[in-house]
Amino acid sequence: MNVLIIEDEKALAVELEIFLTNYNYICEVCFTGAAASEKIGVNLYDFILIDLGLPDYDGLELLKEAKKNNPEAICMILTARAEVYDRIKGLDLGADDYLPKPFSLLELQSRMQAITRRKFGLKQNLVDLGGFLINLTDRTISYYNTEINTITKKEFDLVAYLILHKNRTLTRSQLSEHIWGSIINDDYDSNYIDAHIKNIRKKLNVYAPPDWLETVRGLGYKIKINT
């Protein structure tokens, strides 16, 4: 899928490009609003990531242009100006999602995937892990036709995030940010991810050992899926 990254902070734009290329997106990068405006006028993209705080261009104006020339494109707003007013205005103008800086790259990718699924109405998203059938659409886990309903919402969120980023080690920080990111509190480094993983393993172990949920010593967790 084609992604246009509009970000005036070169260092960030480069990292976005590296990361998304890794996930098999085809990226183009613009450091200025003017350059972006030109590209939007000429090319078609599946994703347009717009930084609202461009020095030479009103980000919201760019969003309008994008929606006009690329009506099929999924527009995501990336901004450090996380004000409510902008948030509402951004969504009203047809942005599909909004990601306040600083965000995790994993979060960006999972949002992009979620929107893609929603937009294209992809059919049931099922993952088979050693007998456990994980339905990412209905958010259920079953083991050979027996639905496991002991798994809590948070626990499912963790499993789903690990599946989304399968075969990659996710750190506790990244997992914490995903499931508690929107909560503002004064803890840092408080790690309840381990407790959650322990609970998930215990609950699944009733049916079969979930060997696919790996602990990567000293680094984090990983779900291995052979493709």
List interacting residues with other proteins (CB under 8 A). 9, 11-12, 15-16, 18-19, 22, 53, 80-85, 100-106, 152-154, 168-169, 171, 173-174, 176-177, 180, 182-190, 192, 195-196, 199, 217-220
Rounded CA gap, 78 and 28, in Å?
A: 16
Distance in Å, CB of 150 to other proteins, minimum: 13
* Nearest to other proteins of 70, 175 (CB atom): 175
CB of 151 to other proteins, least distance (A): 13
Q: 22: which 2 tokens?
A: 């890794």
Q: Give the span between the Cα atoms of 4 and 51, in whole angstroms.
A: 11
Nearest distance from C-beta of residue 54 to other proteins, angstroms:
12
Alpha carbon distances (Å) from 114 to 94, 98, 132, 177, 200: 17, 13, 22, 17, 23
Tokens encoding 189 = 């480094």
Q: What tokens appear for 185 in the block? A: 């509190």
**Between 71 and 218, whose beta carbon lies closer to other proteins?**
218
Minimum Å distance from CB 199 to other proteins? 8
Comparing CB distances to other proteins, the nearer of 143 and 156 is 156
Specify burial of residue 48 (Cβ count, 10 A radius: 0-12, 13-18, 19+): buried
Of residues 67 and 101, the one with the C-beta less far from other proteins: 101
Single-letter amino acid, residue 110: S
- Compute the residue count for the chain: 227
Q: Shortest distance, CB of residue 123 to other proteins, whole angstroms?
A: 29
Q: Which is nearer to other proteins, 60 or 133 (CB)?
A: 60
